[in-house]
Amino acid sequence: MSDATPRMIVLHGRRVVGGSAEGEALVTRQTISGWGGINERDGTIIERRHELRGQSFNGRVLVFPGAKGSSGWSAYFHMARLNGVAPAAMIFTRMTTKVALGAVVTRAPAITALDQDPLSVIETGDWVRVDADRGVVEVTKR
Amino acid sequence: MAVNTCQLITGIDNAKWRIQGIPDDLAEQQKRGEAFFGQRGINMHTTCTPYQVGNVPVLGEHCAWMESSAVVYCNSVLGARTNTEGKESTGAAALTGRIPYWGFHLDINRRGTHLVEVAIPVEDIMDWGLLGYWLGEIVQDEIPVLTGALIRPMLIKLKHFGAAASSSGGVEMYHLPGTTPEARSVEEAFAGRPIADTLHFGPSERRRAYENLNCASERKIDFVMLGCPHNSIEQVWLIASLLEGRRLNPDTALWVHTPRALRDTAERNGYVRMIEEAGGVVMSDTCPAISRHLPKGVRTFATDSAKQAHYLPAISGVQAWFGSVRDCVEAAITGTWNGRLQ
C-alpha cells in the first residue's frame, strides 16, 4: 500500500443520540464548558486557557472527553443548534448528565463508550463518519 | 409544578435594570413572565444560591438542580442528591416530578475517588477559591476527599470553593470528612473504593491557581464585582463595614450582589445605605456573567470570585484581577489594583 492510500479505522460504541453524520474531526483532550466556554453564535471555543480557543466546531465532528463547568452547557449547545453552528456529531468518553442532555438538545448524532480511545485514534483533520444508530465510527486518516 | 421549584438567577435586576443598561421593555417583559410562572408555583428566589434563602433540601433528598455551584453545594454540603441538570431537564422535572435515577442519585456513585492533602492553612474565602480552582482543573468531575488544614469550613467558604472547582473543572461532589454529612472519616468517604490518586496542595499549587486566574495587565480598575455566587448577609456586612466613611474612586464602579430576600435584610440593617453612601450599588436577581451587562466602558475588573474571574473575561472580553474582599474594596476606593498573594 502506498502512503497516499487513506487508512480507515473502525470504532464501536454506544449510541447517545441516534442518526448519522460525517465531517472533519476537531479533537481535544480538554473538557469543554458550554456557558462561558463557547460562543453560541459562531460555534467557537472562547475559554481563555483552552487549547481550542478561537476554533469552531460548526459542522465538524467534535471529539472530546466531556463537559465541564456551568449547567448552562445544554442551553448553549441548544442555542448553537438553533443558530446553525452546532457540531455535525459528538464523540466523548466521559458520560455525565451535563454532556448527555447537551447532546440530546443539540440533536447531533452522539456516541460514547467506544472500544478504542477516540482521543488517541482520531486526530483533528481526520474524516469521521458517525453512525450512532449502529454505534459505529469510521475514521479515515487524513 | 409537581414539586417545590424555584427560579434560578436571571439576566435582569428587577429594581436596578437601568444601572445595568437594560431597556425598560425587557425589564417589564421579565416581570410579566415572573407573574405568570410565579402563580404556577415557581418561587422567585432568582438567585444562584437558593440554599441561602430557604430552599434547603435534607440529607438524601432527590433533587433536579442546575447551577453548577449550587449542585456541588447540594450534593456535598447538604447531602441531597442531584446531577448537574440543565434548563431543559429542570423544566421537565418541575412539571413531572421525575428525573433519571442514575449518577449522583445512587450511593455507589457518591464515594470519593481522589485524596487531597492540604498542606497549607486554607482559611480566607480567597484561599478556598484558590484551592477549588486548582483542584477542579485536576480532578475534573471526579470526587475529591479533602484533609488537612481546612480552617473553619462554613457556608460562605464552601460556596466559593465549590463554585471554583465546578468552573475550572466539573466537580459535582466532594467530601470534607468530619464536616460534610456523608463522611465522618476518610475511610467512610471512600467506602472501599480504591484511591485513584493522592494530590497535595501547597504554596506552589496555590500560586499556580492565583496566576491562572489573574489575566490582567492593566492595574487601573474600572469595575469591582462582589457576590459570585451571590453574597450571604455576613458578606454584605463585611463589605459595608470596609466601606464605612469612605468614597469610591469616581471612575470605578462597585456592584455587590446578594439574593433579593437578603437584600431586604441588608436594607433593614443599614448595610445597603452604607454601601450606597460610599458610591456602590447593591444588586439582586443577576450578575454580570449571566446578564452580559457591565458598567459602560469596562476594560479591567476585580472580583473576590474565582468563578467570575474565570468566566467574565471569556464572556465579555474584559481583563480580570482576583483577590480577597479587602483587595477588591481597596481597588474600588483607589481605582488601582494592589492585591497580591500574601
Q: Are residues B184 and B151 in the same domain?
A: yes
pLDDT at residue A84 greater than cutoff 90? yes
Choose among A69, A102, A104: nearest Cβ to B170.
Answer: A69
Look at residue B157 and tell me if it is in a domain. Answer: yes
Please state the domain extents for chain A.
8-140
Q: CA nearest A45 in B: which residue?
A: B314
Torsion of the alpha carbons at A11, B137, A46 and B295, rounded to the nearest 10: 160
Q: Are residues B221 and B316 in the same domain?
A: yes
Look at residue B99 and tell me if it is in a domain. Answer: yes
C-beta of residue B1 within 8 angstroms of C-beta of residue B41: yes
CATH of A8-140, one of 1.10.10.60, 3.40.50.300, 3.50.30.10, 3.40.50.620: 3.50.30.10
Q: Are residues B72 and B151 in the same domain?
A: no
Per-residue pLDDT, B308: 98
Number of domains chain B is built from: 3
Three-state SS sequence of chain B? CCCCEECCCCCCCCCCHHHHCCCHHHHHHHHHHHHHHHCCCEECCCCCCHHHCCCCCCCCCECCECCHHHHHHHHHHHCCECCECCHHHHHHHHHHCCCCCCHHHCHHHHCCCEEEEEEEEECCHHHHHHHHHHHHHHHCCCCEEEEEEECCCCHHHHHHHHHHHHHHCCCCCCECCCCCCCCCCHHHHHCCCCCCEEEEECHHHHHHHHHHHCCCCCCECCEEEECCCCCCHHHHHHHHHHHCCCCCCCCCEEEEECCHHHHHHHHHHCHHHHHHHCCCEEECCCCHHHHCCCCCCCCEEEECCHHHHHHHHHHHCCEEEECCHHHHHHHHHHCECCCCCC
- The strand order across the sheet containing A89-92 reads A8-12, A136-140, A127-131, A20-27, A61-64, A89-92, A110-112, A14-17
Please identify which residue in the block is written with the cell numbers 473576590: B304
Look at residue B341 and tell me if it is in a domain. Answer: no
DSSP A119: H
Interface of B with A (CB under 8 A): 66-68, 71, 83-89, 100, 103, 136, 140-141, 166-170, 172, 212, 215, 289, 310-311, 313-315
A39 in contact with chain B, both atoms CB, cutoff 8 A = no
Q: Are residues B167 and B237 in the same domain?
A: no
Q: Are residues B157 and B197 in the same domain?
A: yes
Q: In terms of Cα–Cα distance, which of B216, B313, B295 is closest to B253? A: B295
Torsion of the alpha carbons at B305, B306, B311 and B314, rounded to the nearest 10: 110
Q: CA nearest B140 in A: which residue?
A: A68
Q: How far apart are the C-alpha atoms of B10 and B287, rounded to whole Å?
A: 8
A125 in contact with chain B, both atoms CB, cutoff 8 A = no
Q: Are residues B159 and B239 in the same domain?
A: no
Which of residues B192, B212, B232 is at a domain's end?
Answer: B212
DSSP A9: E
Choose among B68, B86, B168: nearest Cβ to A74.
Answer: B86
Rounded to 5 degrees, what are φ and ψ at A92? -140, 165
What nine digits make up the cell of B67? Answer: 447551577
H or E element in which residue A47 lies: none
Q: Are residues B74 and B135 in the same domain?
A: no
Tens digit of each residue's pLDDT, chain B (342 residues):
999 999 999 999 999 999 999 999 999 999 999 999 999 999 999 999 999 999 999 999 999 999 999 999 999 999 999 999 999 999 999 999 999 999 999 999 999 999 999 999 999 999 999 999 999 999 999 999 999 999 999 999 999 999 999 999 999 999 999 999 999 999 999 999 999 999 999 999 999 999 999 989 999 999 999 999 999 999 999 999 999 999 999 999 999 999 999 999 999 999 999 999 999 999 999 999 999 999 999 999 999 999 999 999 999 999 999 999 999 999 999 999 999 998
Write down the pTM of the prediction: 0.97
Read off the CATH number of the domain in which B269 is found.
Answer: 3.30.499.10
Per-residue pLDDT, A5: 62
Please answer yes or no on whether B167 and A31 come within 8 Å at the CB atom.
Answer: no
Q: Are residues B29 and B93 in the same domain?
A: yes
Per-residue pLDDT, B50: 98
Query: Active-site residue numbers of A?
Result: 70
Interface TM-score (ipTM) > 0.85 = yes
Please answer yes or no on whether B314 and A47 come within 8 Å at the CB atom.
Answer: yes
Look at residue B330 and tell me if it is in a domain. Answer: yes
> What are the beta bridge partners of residue B223?
B253, B301
A38 in contact with chain B, both atoms CB, cutoff 8 A = no
Judging contacts by C-beta atoms under 8 Å, the chain A residues touching residue B106 are: none
Please answer yes or no on whether A49 and B87 come within 8 Å at the CB atom.
Answer: no
Q: Are residues B264 and B293 in the same domain?
A: yes
CA B228 to chain centre: 4
pLDDT at residue A1 greater than cutoff 80? no
Q: Are residues B95 and B177 in the same domain?
A: no
Look at residue B339 and tell me if it is in a domain. Answer: no
Give the total residue count for chain B.
342
Per-residue pLDDT, B342: 85
| Inter-helix orientation angle B125-139/B203-213, to 10° | 90
Please answer yes or no on whether B141 and A72 come within 8 Å at the CB atom.
Answer: no
Torsion of the alpha carbons at A103, A107, A113 and A118, rounded to the nearest 10: -90
Q: CA nearest B71 in A: which residue?
A: A71
Q: CA end-to-end span of chain A, whole Å?
A: 15
* Residue-wise burial string across B150-188, b where 16 or more C-beta atoms lie within 10 A, e elsewhere: beebeebbbbbbbbbbbbbbbbbbbbbbebbebbeebeb
Q: How far apart are the C-alpha atoms of B339 and B326, rounded to whole Å?
A: 9
Taking the CA of residue B100 and the nearest CA in chain A, the distance in Å comes to 9
Q: How far apart are the C-alpha atoms of B64 and B72, rounded to whole Å?
A: 12
Judging contacts by C-beta atoms under 8 Å, the chain B residues touching residue A48 are: 215, 310, 313-314
Look at residue B342 and tell me if it is in a domain. Answer: no
Q: Are residues B23 and B95 in the same domain?
A: yes
Look at residue B340 and tell me if it is in a domain. Answer: no
Q: How far apart are the C-alpha atoms of B324 and B340, rounded to whole Å?
A: 9
Query: pLDDT digits over A64-76, tens only?
Result: 999 999 999 999 9
**Amino acid letter, residue A124:** T
Look at residue B262 and tell me if it is in a domain. Answer: yes
pLDDT at residue A20 greater than cutoff 70? yes
Domain span at residue B167 reads 111-212
